[in-house]
Amino acid sequence: MSELETTLQDYVPLFKAFCNGTRAKIIEQLLHGERCVCEITAELDFSQPLISHHLAVLKETGLIRQRGAGARSYYAIDWQRLDGLIDGFRALVEAYRADSVPSRGCVR
């Protein structure tokens, strides 16, 4: 693979987003549609600062988008970005599988 191609390292932010229990719960809420911070906070029974912190982390990864409406902010999954990351990761794994050399096993 050339230097210009995607590597597994490019997917670390995606997996970091899902490897935290609170972020996973937030993502699960957003799978059901757009939510404001107050709805997520109430549903998960976590503090607003904690939810806002994790939403910021998720937003940095590009997995969610934010929309302002008056004094409230609404969050939703960026499906195009998520689908692209999942498809790209799947294609990368398939490329590695296609290039792999079968193991010869242990010699006894």
pLDDT at residue 5 greater than cutoff 90? no
Flag whether 3 is in a domain: no
Q: Are 85 and 58 in contact (CB under 8 A)?
A: no
Cα-Cα-Cα-Cα dihedral sign, residues 90, 96, 99, 102: negative
pLDDT at residue 99 greater than cutoff 50? yes
pLDDT at residue 1 greater than cutoff 50? no
DSSP designation for 104: -
Flag whether 90 is in a domain: no
- Token match 């939810």: residue? 51
For residue range 31-82, list pLDDT tens digits in order: 999 999 999 999 999 999 999 999 999 999 899 999 999 989 999 999 999 9
User: Rounded to whole angstroms, how far apart are CA atoms 87 and 90?
Assistant: 5
Q: What pLDDT score does 6 carry?
A: 82
pLDDT at residue 105 greater than cutoff 90? no
**Full-model pTM:** 0.77
Which of residues 66 and 100 earns the better pLDDT score? Answer: 66
User: Per the structure, how many domains does the chain have?
Assistant: 1
Residue type, 65: R
User: Rounded to whole angstroms, how far apart are CA atoms 20 and 11?
Assistant: 15
Q: What pLDDT score does 4 carry?
A: 44
Flag whether 53 is in a domain: yes
% pLDDT > 90, the chain: 66
CATH number of domain containing 57 = 1.10.10.10
* CB-count exposure of residue 89 (10 Å: 0-12, 13-18, 19+): middle
DSSP designation for 32: T
Flag whether 23 is in a domain: yes
Range of the domain at 44: 9-85
